[in-house]
Chain A
Amino acid sequence: MSTPRVLRQSLQRLAQHARCYSKTTTTTTTTAPLRTQPQRLLTAWSTTTQLSASASSARRSLSTSSALQHGHVDPPKPGEELYVTFIDKDNQTHRLAVSEGDNLLDIAQSHDLEMEGACGGSCACSTCHVIVQDQDMYDRMPEPDDDENDMLDLAFGLTETSRLGCQVHMTKELDGLVVKLPSMTRNLQASDFKS
């Protein structure tokens, strides 16, 4: 049997982690053990998820994370790193070194943060909604266009500084950006969906 796609992607991503990510998060984990156990990775999908779980974070007690994530960004060149901090749904912060030009959706997905991009970053849904934490930073970004605003109108927990992650590209002006991923699923009721 050929290597399943998920496994292949996972391996690629792990290799990427191992190659270079300067991932300075509060839940930092080392990537070295992953590199040393490639044989185990190939044995079973469940093994893969276990390992990639430890690669992303150890905070979820029963979780395994997302061997199912995708998103690809190139690691920043030394000396050219820009920093962006994500505050996830559990209020954990993740400070990441990224390259100029990367968009927030790709960055989040390649670091296994829980951000969906249902439409693949084509500005046709609102699943990559982020809330910019600092008004000044928000003002430095090019204004959202009509298409992005149309999608934001449908986003849960919309704020004055909401953006779609797929439309925010990192620039030098945005170095040090902090964004929050909105959390909303827990108290969602059927009645919220009545027309």
Chain B
Amino acid sequence: MAFVARVKPGALGLRGRWPSQVHAPRRMYSQHPAHHATPEHPLRVAVIGSGPAGFYTTYKLMAKIQGTKVDMYESLPVPFGLVRFGVAPDHPEVKNCQEKFEEVASSPDFNFIGNVSVGTKPDHPDGLTVPLASLFRHYNAIIFAYGAAQDRKLGIPGEDQLKGVYSAREFVGWYNGLPQHANINPDLTQGEEAVVIGQGNVALDVARMLLEDVDVLRKTDIAAHALETLSQSRVKRVHVVGRRGPMQAAFTIKEVRELMKLSNVSFHPVDTSLLPPDLKSLPRAPRRLMEMLAKGTTATSQSPSETSKSWSLDFCLTPKAFSPSSSSPASAQLASTTFKRTTLSPSPFDPNAYALPTAETLTLPSSIAFRSIGYKSTPLPEFSDINVSFDERRGIISNDGYGRVQHEERTRGAEMSHGSFPGLYCAGWVKTGPTGVIASTMENAFATADAIIEDWVSRTPFLNVDRKVHGWEGVKSEVLRSGDEKRVVDWQGWRRIDEAERERGRETGRSREKFTRTEEMLNVLG
């Protein structure tokens, strides 16, 4: 096995911090002891992240390799990642997958380690941080399933200076009660027109939240602060803007249909020149989507003049600048967004067409704008120490497509070589990039689990197979100081937080009222 994870020359002080096999891989991996998970030597896995990817990988792994012990690290005190903090509150049925996760978590072989982040930066004030190096010493495999916590920026004038320009990711986190974004307090009272830049399902979620009757949201688990703000919103007109056309858009039909069906909300007709003339000849999924766009809201006979709120899909526009009203200083309130019109090459009907900007511009009045052009993952700070390769362009951990993490190694000839990193895997958006629905995340997580199972059965090298490892017990004894442990939230602790949130919900006639600060969550545990 040609695994040589040499430490970068400049990284001083690592010896002793990283486990021996990182320095002496040959000794470690030349042995191929029998990979049998026995009660004395179970397969011990650390999963970093407790969203659907982490849980589905765990589920498959625990079902297929008997006795597998999984410790799931989560930087927040509460589990479920984007199922809790990403899925829109008016989609409770999508959150039903939590039932499966709860079953997984009820196994005695499963251990939730909440309020503990993995990394080196002390950016986790209410919680604990453990170094990845420590995990290396105490597990046979580590699965990175920590998602995509950043978003892509537009890089246009006004984006960072003007009030009223928001990240859709932060807005979604805010209405879902994510502690990190509990304080963004978007101002929805400055005007009636909103612009959402991007045409994926997150963009449509944002549009729906802005347009939906607040009384519908009142019954959901939407954050209380969001209900308050949305009930004061003056927004009546939402533009969902994309660089390309309907045939290239990333949204899916369910989300479009929902917006079309909102009561007292109408849809401005799309530019039909962008729809293929012969819809019948299209494959099923695009055909149904194009037919719906062509039909618009005629089915419900709502026209923009008859409803107080409306929305549109504005195609072939690429953002150029955010501008304040002309009299205002640069740091003032957003007043309009300017776009360049684009043309689609080779043809607007080609699903892979790309957008070419033209000289023609269009300015949309907008008192609020959301950028929604995709999420991206970031590498853990320690990846560079061990030469885990991170694809900055796609914002994912480099992997073989199945979920085996790749390392990069500069050989003597200064060429880069790649190979799989024994015992390291990735799943979910940090593996695939931030796209897809629960079904695709699940299939994808299963593929990662299958890769691990295949490696385990074929006796491919894993971490620490020559000795017994103790997982969280080992990590704990190595890095926690006395008194730290009570800040760790286990599954029982989450259940208590869960119950407290449901109880708060019962008081206000809602399914749940989330805590939106980690401090409040931890206070439940005393």
A binding-site residues for B, Cβ under 8 Å? 4-6, 9, 44-46, 49-50, 60, 62-68, 70, 116, 118-120, 122-127, 146-147, 149-151, 153-156, 158, 184-186, 188-191, 193-195
Contact = CB atoms under 8 A, between A and B. Distances in A.
Contacts of B200: 195
Nearest to B87: A124
Given A63-B63, A158-B284, A194-B435, A68 B252 contact: no
B contact face: mostly helix, strand, loop, or mixed: helix
B224 interface: no
B443 A184 contact: yes
Interface string B64-94: 1111000000000000000000000001011
A194 B99 contact: no
A8 B102 CA distance: 14
A185 B99 contact: no
Nearest to B39: A46
A125 to B, nearest CB: 5
Interface of B: 39, 59, 62-67, 91, 93-94, 96-97, 99-100, 102-104, 106-109, 200, 250, 252-254, 257, 284-285, 288-289, 374, 396, 399, 401-402, 431-433, 435-440, 442-444, 446-447, 450, 453, 457
B300 to A, nearest CB: 13
Nearest to B109: A45
B391 to A, nearest CB: 10
Contact of A150 (B96, B254, B440, B446): B254
Given A62-B66, A150-B252, A45 B107 contact: yes
A65 B107 CA distance: 14
A100 B101 CA distance: 30
Given A118-B438, A186-B447, 15 more contacts: A6-B106, A45-B107, A46-B67, A64-B63, A70-B103, A119-B94, A124-B94, A125-B94, A125-B438, A127-B438, A150-B253, A154-B252, A193-B433, A195-B200, A195-B374
A155 B93 CA distance: 18
Contacts of B401: 188-191
A185 B250 CA distance: 23
The 5 A-B residue pairs with the shortest CB-CB distance, nearest first, are A120-B96, A122-B93, A153-B285, A193-B432, A189-B401
Nearest to B65: A62
B439 A118 contact: yes
B252 A127 contact: no
Nearest to A65: B63
Nearest to A46: B67
Max chain A CB contacts within 10 Å: which of B39, B96, B200?
B96
A185 B446 contact: yes
Given A64-B64, A118-B438, A190 B446 contact: no
Contacts of B91: 124
Given A118-B439, A124-B94, A190 B285 contact: no
Contacts of A188: 401-402, 443-444, 447
A92 B102 CA distance: 30
Contacts of B257: 146, 150
Contacts of B254: 147, 150-151
A44 to B, nearest CB: 8
17 contacts: A4-B108, A45-B109, A63-B63, A64-B63, A66-B63, A70-B103, A118-B97, A119-B93, A119-B96, A120-B99, A126-B437, A127-B439, A153-B253, A156-B439, A156-B443, A185-B446, A188-B401
Contacts, number: 138
B399 A190 contact: yes
A125 B107 contact: no
A195 B447 contact: no
B308 to A, nearest CB: 26
Contact of B442 (A64, A66, A118, A190): A118
Given A62-B457, A118-B96, A119-B94, A50 B443 contact: no
B432 A190 contact: yes
Contacts of A186: 447, 450
Given A60-B64, A68-B63, A195-B200, A4 B106 contact: yes
Max chain B CB contacts within 10 Å: which of A5, A64, A193, A194?
A193
B442 A116 contact: yes
A102 B447 CA distance: 30
B403 to A, nearest CB: 9
B93 A194 contact: no
Nearest to B249: A195
Contact of A185 (B59, B435, B450): B450
Contacts of A49: 63, 66
Contact of A5 (B39, B106, B433, B436): B106
B106 A64 contact: no
Nearest to B102: A5
B100 A68 contact: yes
B93 A120 contact: yes
Nearest to A116: B442
Contacts of B435: 193-195
Contacts of A65: 63
A118 B39 CA distance: 31
A28 B374 CA distance: 49
Contact of A119 (B106, B285, B438): B438
Contact of B66 (A64, A150, A158): A64
A156 B64 CA distance: 23
B486 to A, nearest CB: 21
B491 to A, nearest CB: 11
A161 B65 CA distance: 34
A16 to B, nearest CB: 17
Contacts of A147: 254
Contact of A126 (B65, B284, B439, B457): B439
A123 B97 CA distance: 12
